[in-house]
Structure 1
Amino acid sequence: MIDVPTLVEQAREGRPRAVARLISLVENAAPQLREAMAALAPYTGQAYTVGLTGSPGVGKSTSTSALVSAYRRLGKRVGVLAVDPSSPFSGGALLGDRVRMQEHATDPEVFIRSMATRGHLGGLSWTAPQALRVLDGAGCEVILVETVGVGQSEVEVAAQADTTVVLLAPGMGDGIQAAKAGILEIGDVFVVNKADRDGADATARELNHMLGLGESRGAGDWRPPIVKTVAARGEGIDEVVEALEKHRAWLAETGELAVRRRRRAADEIEAIALSTLRARIGDLHGDRRLSALAERVADGTLDPYGAADTLVAGLTRA
C-alpha cells in the first residue's frame, strides 16, 4: 500500500527515493497518481524549466551535466529529466542512468531521471508534464529537460519549458537541419557546442544570418543569443547560464512566463482528458452500442461522423 501523503512529504524533504517513486506512479499511470498530483499542486509553479534539444551528437548530455555543475555552484537544487528512446523489449529508457551525468549521482541536491518516449513522437514522453510537476513540487529550483534529439516532429520540448536551448555543433549540417525542423522558431538560446573544432565560427555566423532572415521582432521582443561552448571542458557554460537568467528575467518582466505556463497547463489538461476518453473508447470494443453503430454505418443508414457524435455524446454523459 502506497502512503501518498508520506511520499509527498519525503519528496519535499529532497529524498531521492520518494521522488523516484512518485515519478514511477506517473510512468505507470498508477491509481494513486491523482492523489499524488493533488497533494503536490500547492508546491508547484516555483521551478525554472529549461529544455535542451538538438541533433544527436551535439553534446546534449555533456552540456546538461555542465549546466548542473554551474547551477549547483550557485546553490540551486537541480532536477534533470532525460527523455530517451524506448527499449523495444522492456519499453524502458534505452540510455538508462545517463553515464555522462554520473558525477552528480552522489549529490543529494541533484535528481536525475531517465524516461522512455515509449514511441511518442515529439521528443518527449507523454508523461513528461507530470514528471516535471513532481520535480517542481519536490523543491527543484531548476529543472533541465533533455530530449532524445531533434527531428521533423521532435520540437515539443518548447511546449514544456520556460526557456528552450537549441544545441548545434560544427560540421554536422546543423544549419540545414535547423531550418528543416523549425528549430529557429522554438529556440530562446542557441549554443554552438564543440567550439574548439574547425567551423565553429562559421556555424555561429550562419545561425546568426538565419535568425536575421526570420527577424520580425518588435523593440521589446527577445532576440535569441548565440553562445559558443566546449561543454566537455566546461568552457562557455557560465555564459549560457547568464543567457538563461536574462531570458528568465525577460519572461517575468513581459508577462510571457505566465502566458507560457498557462498554455502548458492547458495542454496538460487536454492530454489527460483525451487519455481518459481514449481509455473509455477502448473499453467499448465488443460493447453493444459500438457494434450497433458500426452496423448502421456498414449498411449505409448512418454516416461515420454521425456515429462518432453519438458515441462521444454517450461517453460524456457516462
Structure 2
Amino acid sequence: MWKQLLAGIQIGNHQSIARAISLVENEVEGYDHFLQSLPIGKTPITGITGPPGAGKSTLTDALIGHWTAQGKKVAILCIDPSSPFNMGALLGDRIRMSDWYNHPGVYIRSLATRGSLGGLHPYIIEITAILQTAGFDEIIVETVGVGQSEIEIAGLADTTVVVVVPEAGDEVQTMKAGLMEIADVFVVNKSDRPDADSFVKNLRLMLAPAFNSDKKIEVIKTVASQKEGIGELANAITEHQQHISINNRKIWLLTERVYQLIARNRMKPYDKKAIYQALQAKASKEQFNLFTFVNEYANTGNA
C-alpha cells in the first residue's frame, strides 16, 4: 500500500497525496517507515501569518493566481482553528480559494490545529515533507494567525511572510521582538487605506536598527483583493529563497523540528480520551489538585 502511495505522490496524484496525509494523521501502521522512505524534497515552504482580518487568505489566493499563471504547481495548507471538543476544523475549506479546487496544478488542504498549543497542525512537518515529494514548485502554509502560531511557523517555513494592515500601528508597536524577528518579508495589505504610506515608513524605521545587517527584511505594499503588489511580493519571496543557506538560524529551525518530533513520539502513550475519563472521576472532587493529578498520571498511567 505504502509503495503504491509513494509512486502516486511522486507523479503528483492528488488522491494519493490526500490518502497519505490522512494515513499519517491517523498513525496507520507503517506510516513511520513510509516517512523515512520519502526522497529528500527541496520545494521551499512559504509561511503566511499575521493577525485575523489582515487578509491572509485573499493574499494566498492572489499568490496562487500569480504562480499558476507562470505554470507553477502550488500546494496550500490552511491551518484552521479547531474545536477543543472534537478537534475538527471550524472554518473548513476556504471559500475564497474555491476557484482553485479543481485546478490540476493546485492542491489545497485545510488542517485543524487539533488543540496544538503552538497553533499549527501536530503533523505539519510530516505533511509538508509529503508535499515536497510530490513535485510542487511552491508550498504555502497559511496559519490561523493567533497565539503562538506566528512563532512556530518560523520553525517550519523557509520564508515567513507576516501580513499586517495600516490600522495595525499600535499592534505593531507592541509586537514582541520574537514576532518581528521571524519575519523575512512584511506585507502591508489593504494599503489603499488612509495612512498606509506613513505606516510603511514607520515599519521600515522599526526594522532598520533591530537586526544585523546580514538580514534584510522587505516591506511590500499590497491590495490583495485587487491583485496589486502580488508580483512584487512573489519576487521578494523568490529572492529570499534563493539565498537560503545552512546558517545558524537554519540549524536552529531544524533543531526545533527535531525537538517537536521527539516530544510528540514521547507523548504517544498518553491518550486524550483516557485522560478525559480519568479527569471525570477526579475533577469534581473538592481536593482535586491538577499538579498532583499530572504527576500521578505521568508516572502510573492513571490517577
TM-score (normalizing by structure 1): 0.80
- Which letter does structure 2 place at the counterpart of 1:72? T
Distance 1:54 1:203, change over 3 A: same
Distance 1:21 1:73, change over 3 A: same
Separation in 2, partners of 1:85, 1:64: 17
Separation in 2, partners of 1:196, 1:146: 23
In 2, are the aligned partners of 1:22 and 1:36 still within 8 Å (CA)? no
- Which letter does structure 2 place at the counterpart of 1:271? Q
Match of 1:271 in 2: 260
Does residue 1:96 correspond to 2:97, yes or no? no
1:103-182 → structure 2 map (5 Å cutoff): 103-151=99-147, 154-173=150-169, 175-176=171-172, 179-180=175-176, 182=178
- Which letter does structure 2 place at the counterpart of 1:247? H
Separation in 2, partners of 1:174, 1:226: 17
Separation in 1, partners of 2:154, 2:177: 13
In 2, are the aligned partners of 1:65 and 1:101 still within 8 Å (CA)? yes
Q: Secondary structure at the match of 1:250?
A: coil
Q: Secondary structure at the match of 1:205?
A: helix
Separation in 1, partners of 2:41, 2:175: 33
- Which letter does structure 1 place at the counterpart of 2:257? E
Deviations 1:104-135 (A, max 9, x none): 11111111111111111222112110110111
Match among 26, 29, 46 for residue 28 of structure 1:
26
Q: How many residues get paired?
A: 280
Q: Secondary structure at the match of 1:251?
A: coil
Match of 1:293 in 2: none
RMSD: 2.8
- Which letter does structure 1 place at the counterpart of 2:119? G
- 1:264 is displaced (CA, Å) by 4.3
- Which letter does structure 1 place at the counterpart of 2:109? R
Q: Give the share of equivalent positions with the same residue, in percent.
A: 41
In 1, are the aligned partners of 2:79 and 2:120 still within 8 Å (CA)? yes
- Which letter does structure 2 place at the counterpart of 1:169? V
Greater than 3 Å deviation, 4+ residue runs:
150-154, 172-178, 262-269
- Which letter does structure 2 place at the counterpart of 1:198? P
Match of 2:64 in 1: 68
- 1:151 is displaced (CA, Å) by 3.5
Match of 1:39 in 2: 37
In 2, are the aligned partners of 1:121 and 1:154 still within 8 Å (CA)? no
Separation in 2, partners of 1:81, 1:127: 12
In 1, are the aligned partners of 2:66 and 2:230 still within 8 Å (CA)? yes
- 1:206 is displaced (CA, Å) by 1.8
In 1, are the aligned partners of 2:117 and 2:148 still within 8 Å (CA)? no
Separation in 2, partners of 1:63, 1:103: 14
5+ residue gaps in structure 2? 275-291
Once the two structures are overlaid, the 10-residue window that deviates more, 20-29 or 176-185, is 176-185
Distance 1:89 1:181, change over 3 A: farther
- 1:89 is displaced (CA, Å) by 4.7
- 1:194 is displaced (CA, Å) by 0.4
- 1:235 is displaced (CA, Å) by 0.6
Q: Secondary structure at the match of 1:155?
A: helix
5+ residue gaps in structure 1? 286-303, 312-318
Separation in 1, partners of 2:142, 2:170: 18
Separation in 2, partners of 1:33, 1:187: 33
Match of 1:233 in 2: 226
Match among 238, 262, 272 for residue 245 of structure 1:
238
Q: Which has the higher helix share?
A: 1
Q: Secondary structure at the match of 1:90?
A: coil
Deviations 1:10-50 (A, max 9, x none): 1111111111111112222222311321232x2x3310110
Separation in 2, partners of 1:152, 1:280: 25
Q: Secondary structure at the match of 1:122?
A: coil
Separation in 2, partners of 1:22, 1:126: 15
Match among 40, 46, 50 for residue 50 of structure 1:
46
In 1, are the aligned partners of 2:155 and 2:254 still within 8 Å (CA)? no
Separation in 2, partners of 1:92, 1:171: 32
In 1, are the aligned partners of 2:81 and 2:113 still within 8 Å (CA)? yes
Separation in 1, partners of 2:20, 2:118: 24
Separation in 1, partners of 2:180, 2:100: 31
